[in-house]
Structure 1
């Protein structure tokens, strides 16, 4: 049963990522954390998101704006070790509360199209990259800060997608190198791999049939439910027996 749930979560996350260009971590992290625990759940999310980003870059790498991405990547590389250290030190209920709160806050900000003058220019890029690196290593959620930076920088969706894929590929490689691979047996690795492949097929099939606004709203609603569930489980774990 746990194996089927793991495969389904990865399939769903991969599907929405291929369908909308975002969402694997937002959708999958809360459920993976509940199924595998905080460390292995986040680490598997880093692996899955990194592989999807690398596959997407095979088609769009020529559109990456390297000069714009350097501050984001360098800042993220500096904070990934801090995020990994943070995740290793916190008790599991506290980590669940932190992850659930981060997901919920990130989704609400994205839903509101949050704009802040500080998230523009070089300073905005460095800030978004630093927060994204920390969040990616600690909670598997490096995408929302990048998305908020792109919104405030006025990037179009055509500009955003290849650069987000590049950012996701690099930051997830950093995160896996720092935190290590999840401790899964061969069966779970095979299940997760099958979910990634099946999700790619489903997502690419649905991409032309579901409007982008509806698909993005679905991603954010699923992420909001998952974040709230993780937050509540963490709070429950903190309550006295």
Structure 2
């Protein structure tokens, strides 16, 4: 990228994603990852998404860590740790047009499944947790979007929104750390790091303000609508680059 203008645009995308996650408890990667990929490229965008999503998850976890169900989350975390290396390997070897198309498709399909609240018997119990964690870890490392698989598991396990949010934040911290250990930190210059950090901080403050004023239903629709738009845009760019 280069320059303060481009860095500011990067920080703006991060701020939108951070505010959405702080408001709704989920959604940073779904909303921000497609934009980051379009701005800095597929590989760097996914790594930056992992980094920023891990930080904003940690910020959200500060006030809710006592509600984390560590025993219930353990199978998800273990399965994600096992599948992250495969996702990193795939992301490192796919050419950028193919990676853009795959990422856009994964985001689009994941959003539609969450919108429809798909019920799958295989996503219940211990085996369901392992399956959801494995899919989530792979998607997080390959495309920066590991949340939908965990969301679907929570829906099928009958978790309430109050139960889901702190556990999703806890999981987000760990799965993004796994992804960063596998791929390393994003390579940004000084202005970019400054604007991304400001975006995380500003988004966290704005999201907390919005969370007190926007009901869960509208907040969820905004998150999924933005994510679907980003997924379709990224898919379209990848398909065009393949021609």
TM over 0.5: yes
Equivalent position of 1:221 in the other structure: 225
Equivalent position of 1:66 in the other structure: 70
Q: Distance in 1 between matches of 2:213 and 2:26?
A: 17
1:168 to 172, 197, 203: 172
Equivalent position of 1:156 in the other structure: 160
* Structure 1 residues 5-154: aligned runs within 5 Å: 5-154=9-158
User: TM-score, normalised to structure 2's length?
Assistant: 0.97
Q: Quick check: 1:4 aligned with 2:8?
A: yes
> Deviation at 1:3?
1.8
Maintained 8 Å contact 1:39/1:182: no
Task: Please list every run of 5 or more consecutive structure 2 residues that lacks an aligned counterpart in the other structure.
Answer: none
Q: Residue deviations 1:86-139, cap 9 Å, x none? A: 000001000000000000000000100111000000110000000000000011
The alignment's C-alpha RMSD in Å is: 0.7
Q: Distance in 2 between matches of 1:236 and 1:146?
A: 31
Maintained 8 Å contact 1:42/1:138: yes
> Deviation at 1:144?
0.4
1:203 to 204, 207, 214: 207
Q: Aligned with 2:63: secondary structure?
A: helix
> Deviation at 1:4?
2.3
Q: Distance in 1 between matches of 2:208 and 2:59?
A: 13
Maintained 8 Å contact 2:44/2:187: yes
Q: Aligned with 2:83: secondary structure?
A: helix
Q: Distance in 2 between matches of 1:163 and 1:215?
A: 19
Q: Distance in 2 between matches of 1:164 and 1:201?
A: 19
Q: Which stretches of structure 1, 4 residues or more, deviate above 4 A after TM superposition?
A: none
Q: Aligned with 1:53: secondary structure?
A: helix
Q: Residue deviations 1:40-89, cap 9 Å, x none? A: 11111111111111122221111111111111000000000000000000
Maintained 8 Å contact 2:8/2:192: no
Q: Aligned with 1:59: secondary structure?
A: coil
Q: Aligned with 2:97: secondary structure?
A: helix
